[in-house]
Structure 1
Amino acid sequence: IVERARTAAGNLAHALKTPLSVLANAARTAHNGDLARLVREQVDSARRQVDYHLRRARSAAATRIPGMRTPVGPVAAGLSRTMQRIHADRDLEIVVEPIPDALAFRGEEQDLQELLGNVLDNACKWARRRVVVQARCDDGRLAITVDDDGKGIGVERRRDILSRGARADEQVEGSGLGLAIVDELARLYGGAIRLEDSPLGGLRAVLVLPVAS
């Protein structure tokens, strides 16, 4: 039943993405500026809804599959290498502290990559020189911590940053939106993301997620 539900959700999402892409392309070539802008806004809204419900179906199914586990170490290491390549033009050090081989996320690898990838990407955008990733089991939950040595985000802005579309700085492309996605997906797993002051001087993001036994 779970597998059928996941397949149906995936099929529905992909079926909707094609006409949405057609509409988006039509909006880009339309001569009526106001109408084109309205179409683009609605297409973007529909795409977000499609992605949200697809993630929801996938995460709900994953938490119900016995034995579902994704080792954290390899995902963190892979994302670190990816971010190092993306930010190769900067003198940026990304450190992944040793993570126990047995420490695993109770969910899909794709979801962990999206969760940690967005948090790590945000940290790299804001960091001056250094980003540090740590993971541990804390009170029966998986806790992944990402610290950066950037300028940080004020306490009063942190809740706003977790709202979809809010940005910490309009000059930093995509800033904030990734964390809103993380908050949304983490909640679907019964988890959360916390934003705190980092001992490095910037922002600390703590992902709290279900841990695999």
Structure 2
Amino acid sequence: MGAKVSTVMSSGGATTRRGPPTDYAGPAAGRERRLDIHVSVSATGDLATGRAWERSVWREARVLIAECPAPHLASSIESALRTVAASVARDRGWQGVGTVSFSLDDRSGVFRVIGAQAQAHSETMAVADHEPVAPHVLEVRIDGCGDRRLPCTRLLVCGATRGEVLRRAYRALSELPGPAGVDRAFLMNRIASRAFCSGMTGTRLDQAVG
């Protein structure tokens, strides 16, 4: 069963409709952020939602950098995302763990559900398994030396602050053994950019860095 809420204003007002309003075609150019909310539902029906993970840098369907907490995300918007994610899980009768993905217009605060997927055989998992293990966590993905058929490398970098995590991630990428590959050079450029260090993400980051 599809989610009843697809577009919500940051003020908390929600429209209960099957699709986005006809005059809303998604975030304006250069203002899109993408965020994931993990949801767990126990066998007894108890439901929990986790903190928002931001897909800070993505290319097509590939998430290259994800982080939690999401930089400069208003608590009211994160709360609304978690409420909608819980509604999606209830509507679809999930048991175990699933992820609801959102597209957010960074300026207006309007967002919509762009995906929802339950994990198979996740009945014994809890949302805590997806929660950050430190005050700030950055996950970096590097595909195998530019060859998409090879397994990717995932770096999970933790720290007390976002600045500390970015410094550690840059150093880890620079010391990674093997061929540099296109992804690694691209990611090091993004992480070192002033725009990303200031908390800019998504398509705004793409416009700022180029």
Instruction: Tell me, yes or no, whether TM beats 0.5.
Output: no
Structure whose residues are more often helix by fraction: 1
Give the number of the structure whose alpha-carbon radius of gyration is greater: 1
Choose between structure 1 and 2 for higher RCO, CA contacts under 8 A separated by at least 6 residues. Answer: 2
Interval containing the TM-score (normalised by the shorter chain): under 0.3
> What TM-score do you get using the length of structure 1 for normalisation?
0.23
